[in-house]
Structure 1
Amino acid sequence: MSRSLQIGISLIEVLVATNILAVGLLGVAGLQTSSAANMYIAYQHGQAATLAQSMLEKLRANRTATLAGLYQHEKGKAPTAPSKDCSEASCTPAELAAWDLAIWHSMIADTSAKPYTKIPPGPMAMLPSGQTSITCKDTNCSAASVRLITIYWDAHRNGATGSNCNPESASDLACFRLAYVP
């Protein structure tokens, strides 16, 4: 081949290699972004698991109030404000249940409106639009009935409100459930 036909071939090879490198770097950037998003969702699930386990320990410690149904509350409703500060005074099982629920709820839900005046400020969980519920699985709740501790949150921050906990549905909140038999 003559020299005049080969002029510029090296430049084309460099351009092709640069384009291949650019596409590869875009792929790596996409993987990094996806990894960061998945890591944040895993962090949220870890937070929810820790908070649910914390409430389970409170239910175990205050079995009298658990069996009386004093820890039960529905999603979207803030627990009743405690009448007493149980961190500074002796409390009955009912007062302790109200105290435990208020502290737990304030660690999960947005309590910027300060519904609990007796609760000291504490750590906040990183759960967007967090909500809680503690329910009895049976209609006629008994000592042998399963209690479900559920934490809901809007993992993808898309305004989800559903409570079916379906990870495939964009309209459902993410949730973590923990079952307990007293």
Structure 2
Amino acid sequence: MAYLPSPFLSIPTHAHKRQRGFSLMEVLISILIITFGMFGVAKLQLNALRDVQNAHYASKAASFATQMAEQITTNKTALAHYQLAANQQVSASVNCSATSCSSANIAKYDLQLWQQKIANALPFGQAEIIATAHTAKIIVRWDQNRDGSSGLNCPKKDNNDLECTRISRVLW
């Protein structure tokens, strides 16, 4: 019986040639993978920049709160005049850097300058001071995401609340 070769067993002549270079499909897939990798790196960079900015805001807020605590400690006889409700704007009637002032006027002047610093340094920055007989609770808030948040819970309870830093100072 004669054995006939199967067409599936025959090796085409072009298969013996060695492939050189890359096919277009391999190049396109490589470019696609590199593109996704670069988008990932860009996203990581943006997240890092946002986190650095948020840390800067938190550091500024803590500095402002500590600064006011020191001013209250220095002028503790006027503790009641440092009372400041959230969203309340203070306007001092006297410039205490140029003239002699009472402790109450110094408190109002300190608050006015302090509020201006917070408003200039933090996005939608605001402050609150709750003064009781011997303590002052100082809260500095800001809209970190600039999304119109307005909640006053500190610490934050939901996304509507502003970011905040708070400290308490016992005066005597």
TM category (shorter chain) comes to 0.7 to 0.9
Q: Which runs of 5+ in 2 are unaligned?
A: 1-13
Aligned residue in 2 for 1:62 = 75
Q: Which runs of 5+ in 1 are unaligned?
A: 110-123
Greater helix share, 1 or 2? 2
2:54 partner amino acid? I
1:85 matches 2:95: yes
Aligned residue in 1 for 2:124 = 129
SS of the residue corresponding to residue 2 of structure 1 reads helix
Relative distance call for 1:7 and 1:165 in structure 2 (3 A) is same
Picking from 73, 76, 85, the partner of 2:87 is 76
1:57: how far off?
A: 1.2
Kindly indicate whether the alpha-carbon contact (under 8 Å) linking 2:154 and 2:166 is maintained by their aligned counterparts in 1. no
TM-score of the superposed pair, with normalisation by structure 2: 0.82
Relative distance call for 1:173 and 1:47 in structure 2 (3 A) is same
1:174 matches 2:169: no
Q: How many residues align?
A: 158
Aligned residue in 2 for 1:153 = 142
Instruction: Tell me the distance in 1 between the aligned counterparts of 2:39 and 2:16.
Output: 37
Picking from 43, 60, 63, the partner of 1:50 is 63
Relative distance call for 1:12 and 1:5 in structure 2 (3 A) is farther
Aligned residue in 2 for 1:26 = 39
- Give the stretch that moved more between structures: 35-44 or 7-16: 7-16
1:83: how far off?
A: 2.2
Percent of pairs identical after alignment?
Answer: 35
Instruction: Tell me the distance in 2 between the aligned counterparts of 1:9 and 1:133.
Output: 66
TM-score of the superposed pair, with normalisation by structure 1: 0.78
Instruction: Tell me the distance in 1 between the aligned counterparts of 2:41 and 2:118.
Output: 35
Render the CA deviation track for 1:133-160: whole Å, top value 9, x for unaligned. 1003xxxx322xx321001111111111
Alignment RMSD (CA, Å): 2.1
Instruction: Tell me the distance in 2 between the aligned counterparts of 1:142 and 1:94.
Output: 16
Question: Larger radius of gyration, structure 1 or 2?
Answer: 2
Instruction: Tell me the distance in 1 between the aligned counterparts of 2:27 and 2:142.
Output: 50
Aligned residue in 1 for 2:133 = 142
